Amino acid sequence: MKLALRRSRALVAILVAILFTGSMLATTSIGASATGRAKPTIVMVHGAWADASGWQREVKELTDDGYPVIAPANPLRGLASDAAYLRSILETISGPVILVGHSYGGAVISNAATGLPNVKALVYVAAFVPDVHEPVAQLVQQFPGTLVTEDALDARPYPLPGGEVGVDLYLRADIFREAFAGDLPRSTTTVMQVSQRPFSLAAFTEPSGEPAWKTVPSWYLLATADKTIPPAAQEFMARRAGAKIVRVRSSHVAHQSHPHETLALIENAVRSVR
């Protein structure tokens, strides 16, 4: 019995080593391919109440054009931990990277890219661009116009290690479309609302670290009909970051309702690193 157990453990160790090595080789291959074709890897980060499927149109166009693309799941648990998770992915990519963030994803890319020399551009899509010590909650409340008020949120507890309790924030069904995605078909927003990934209160209120936009060139797609992050807040953040601004009449999900404008902005950023 003991011999069989030792053999089983040895087999598990070998399997883990093989999988880890294969994963690293695959990642290196992607980076080398991007470098060989002079095409940077595009990393797209979604925000709260959403998932990576929102980048479908952009992913198709970019991959059809030969760009390596990664659209990881954003944990939405806390700004520092979410940024650390994204940074761990970025550190496996060889060659230049263009980081694209929507909504809260903008705060995550701002923190994850700090000090990483292969991140060559930051592209914000109706996104938060916090400065050091700023939580996104402060930025969304700093200017009038958001429909994401306390009454619009459905707060639900969830367990944390050590017996602590966290709080998840959902957008209520009766406000979701108007506040978040008013220019998408109702059939689409119904599915989005039902399948929304919650945003933890900790992520909403945690202060930002030192942001990458202070040293990395930035682009910003400003949604002028946004009822989640007020356009005035977007303008303030984009100008403060020295971002190149393009305006589009869009709801908060500009990457879904205006994929061509989003792609054009990403391509502008790509051209800057060639």
In this predicted structure, what is the pLDDT of residue 257?
97
In whole angstroms, how large is the CA radius of gyration of the chain?
A: 20
Q: What is the rounded CA–CA span in Å between residue 220 and residue 237?
A: 9
| C-alpha distances out from residue 249 to 48, 92, 115, 166, Å | 21, 37, 34, 36
pLDDT of residue 135: 96
What percent of the chain shows pLDDT beyond 90?
A: 83
**pLDDT of 258 over the 90 cut:** yes
pLDDT at 273: 79
> Per the structure block, which two tokens stand in for 227?
């009822």
Mean pLDDT confidence for 8-14: 45
Q: Per-residue confidence at 9, pLDDT binned at 50, 70, 90?
A: low
- Choose among 233, 230, 224, 232: nearest CA to 254: 224
Is pLDDT larger for residue 30 or for residue 90?
A: 90
More confident residue, 128 or 163: 128
Instruction: Characterize the bridge pairing of strands 97-102 and 41-45.
Output: parallel
For 222-236, how does the pLDDT look when each residue is reduced to its tens digit (9 = 90+)?
A: 999 999 999 999 999
Q: Over the stretch 182-192, which tens digit does the pLDDT of each residue have?
A: 999 999 999 99
Give the CA angle between residues 38, 39, 43 to the nearest 5°: 150
Q: What is the pLDDT of residue 37?
A: 53
Say yes or no to pLDDT of 264 above 70.
yes
The CATH code that applies to domain 2-28+41-272 is 3.40.50.1820
Residue 236 CB neighbour total at 10 angstroms? 15
What pLDDT does residue 274 have?
64
**pLDDT beyond 50 at 22:** no
- What the block records as the tokens of 204 is 């909403």
pLDDT, averaged across the chain: 89
Among the ranges given (79-88, 156-165, 186-195, 214-223), the one the predictor scored with the smallest mean pLDDT = 156-165
pLDDT at 272: 86
Least confident of 26-40, 170-184, 209-223, 229-243: 26-40
